[in-house]
Amino acid sequence: MTDPVRVRFAPSPTGYLHVGSGHSALANWLVARRTGGSFLLRIEDTDVERNRPELVDNVLEMLEWLGLTWDEEPVYQSRRGELYADAAAKLVAGGAVYFCDCTGEAVQTRNKAAGGKPGYDGFCRDRGLEPGPGRAARFRTPREGRTGWTDLVRGEVSFANADLEDFVVLRGNGNPMFLLANAFDDADMGITHVIRGEDHVNSTPKYLLLVDALGLARPTAFAHMPLLVNEQRKKLSKRRDDVSMADYRARGYLPEAMVNYLALLGWGPADGVEVRPVAEIVEQYRLEDVNASPAFFDQKKLSFVNAEHIRALATDEFLARSRPFLTRGEPAAHALASLAVEVQERVRTLAEVEPMIEFLVDDDPAVDEASWTKAITKGKAVPEMLDATIARLEALDLDAWTPESIQEAVAAAAVDAGIVNAEGAPQLSKAQGPVRVAISGRSVGPPLWESIAVLGRDRTLSRLRATRLRVG
């Protein structure tokens, strides 16, 4: 029997949670849930200069929103300084590190003189400097041999030690660097599987060397997930791309749709069923099946997946999820309830819900210009159709105000207006255009008969009359 899996998501609070880190977090969570292991959180806030503590809240909130719940209290590296100091002391005692007082500038100058190659040149490696203020501790990387590991996603990966520079482990101010804290904590927290983005591949050999030097156990497995890229095939970036998880939430994407879509990037279920409940993804997900090549974050497909998940919602649930997106409040909620099923199957995001029913809420709904041109200006027999519709609907009593009789009335109006085919039957698809624009201001929307039924007799007739007047 193998030990239970322990994985972690280790964000650094220097930005909001974005879809790329969400992708990595999800992979960790899926593995933990599938194996019955633990999903842990570690906040990597060792860089005092760049940390924005309030961003931790955003990250936690977004993970919760996604449903990526964690199992133990999050670990904050900023509160574990002593542990890193002890670890560093051990490295010093063992001769694994040396002290260095080179400034970045000095290193650069020397590199330039030596032909412009980047990286630390080992200047202080044999100077025997004592520890002191402003002096950083650098890891003495081996000059020979290779360091590698078996990656669950990429197979065998290894680096020549000679290509590894003497990296800083402890800053001049005594604070630990990412690698020290990261490698130490993974061991300390008993992490068995290190699952993270491909951008960490290059630092993994240093991580391994450090773990060895510390006398700690290496994780049993690594998995470096494919990067998420934009249309230019570049790593998704906060500055250029649409990556904020909070933004997607605000734009009406469902967390289960986001999780579903993210899982599909770099991986696919064996049975080919792409859109499905998260629980089923948990069952099927295997790191061994994850692709190593970068994946394009396709918002069009995300929208499709989102629409599918919206349609899969129970009506009440759809109503409840839509509520935060209704800026018109309770009246909009009431209006939506009356056309819930019709709207639910027509939207791709929850942000699209309100525009579909706002004609039921607003006294004087805005008229969309393109719709007006299409259905009114360019429509045939528009005045006739409006007149006939008004007459036919006026003849309908309040208790006959149902979708069925409204349809019959509009059909009869079409015949009255001469909008018929060769057999004399009403052409509803042409005839309904002006009516729809008159009552809703748009040429697209929920089914007309139902819309008119919900709008009510008075409002329907007054909007038809107003439009008739405007047509002249």
Q: What angle do CA 44, 45, 48 make, to 5 degrees?
A: 155
Residues in Cβ contact with 263 at an 8 Å cutoff, skipping those fewer than 6 apart: 26, 30, 281, 285
Residues in Cβ contact with 222 at an 8 Å cutoff, skipping those fewer than 6 apart: 149, 150, 151, 152, 193, 194, 195, 204
> Do 443 and 437 contact (CB within 8 A), yes or no?
yes
Among 100, 210, 262, 326, binds RNA (CB under 7 A): 100
Among 5, 12, 20, 195, binds RNA (CB under 7 A): 12
Residues 189-208 that bind RNA (CB under 7 A): 198-203
238 among known catalytic residues? yes
Residue 115 beta carbon to RNA: minimum distance, rounded to whole angstroms: 8
Residues 26-45 that bind RNA (CB under 7 A): 44
Among 56, 87, 210, 265, binds RNA (CB under 7 A): 265
Q: Between the CA of residue 192 and those of 54, 178, 260, 362, what are the distances in Å? A: 30, 19, 25, 58
Question: Considering only CA atoms, which of 80, 76, 67 is closest in space to residue 39?
Answer: 67
Residue 158 beta carbon to RNA: minimum distance, rounded to whole angstroms: 7
Among 132, 363, 429, 458, binds RNA (CB under 7 A): 429
User: Rounded CA gap, 11 and 46, in Å?
Assistant: 11
Q: Which stretch binds RNA (CB under 7 A): 68-76, 111-119, 322-330, 376-384?
A: 111-119
Is 266 an interacting residue with respect to RNA (CB under 7 A)? yes
Q: Which is nearer to RNA, 68 or 262 (CB)?
A: 262
Residues 298-317 that bind RNA (CB under 7 A): 298, 300-301, 303-304, 307, 311
Is 209 an interacting residue with respect to RNA (CB under 7 A)? no
What number of chain residues touch RNA (CB under 7 A)?
93
> Do 123 and 110 contact (CB within 8 A), yes or no?
yes
Q: Which stretch binds RNA (CB under 7 A): 247-255, 263-271, 317-325, 456-464?
A: 263-271
Is 123 an interacting residue with respect to RNA (CB under 7 A)? no
Is 233 an interacting residue with respect to RNA (CB under 7 A)? yes
Structure tokens at 34: 């599938």
Residue 419 CB neighbours (<10 A): 25
Q: Which is nearer to RNA, 77 or 244 (CB)?
A: 77
Structure tokens at 111: 């590199």
Single out the catalytic residue among 206, 238, 300, 374.
238
Residues 128-167 that bind RNA (CB under 7 A): 134-136, 154-160, 163, 165, 167
Is 61 an interacting residue with respect to RNA (CB under 7 A)? no
Among 121, 188, 212, 274, binds RNA (CB under 7 A): 274
122 conformational bin, left if phi > 0, alpha if psi -120 to 50, beta if neither: left
> Do 42 and 189 contact (CB within 8 A), yes or no?
yes
The DSSP annotation for 237-272 comes to: -TTTS--BHHHHHHTT--HHHHHHHHHTSS---TT-
Residue 94 beta carbon to RNA: minimum distance, rounded to whole angstroms: 20
Q: What angle do CA 27, 30, 34 make, to 5 degrees?
A: 145
Structure tokens at 371: 């719709």
Mark residues 430-469: x for contact with RNA by CB under 7 A, - for none: --xx--x------xxxxxxxx-------------------
Residue 86 beta carbon to RNA: minimum distance, rounded to whole angstroms: 18
Among 143, 234, 378, 470, binds RNA (CB under 7 A): 234
Q: Which stretch binds RNA (CB under 7 A): 230-238, 252-260, 277-285, 327-335?
A: 230-238
Query: Rounded to 5, what percent of the chain is helix, strand, coil?
Result: 50, 10, 40
Among 193, 249, 346, 468, binds RNA (CB under 7 A): 346
Residues 355-374 that bind RNA (CB under 7 A): none
CA-based end-to-end distance of the chain = 83
Is 50 an interacting residue with respect to RNA (CB under 7 A)? yes
Tell me which residues are annotated as active site. 238
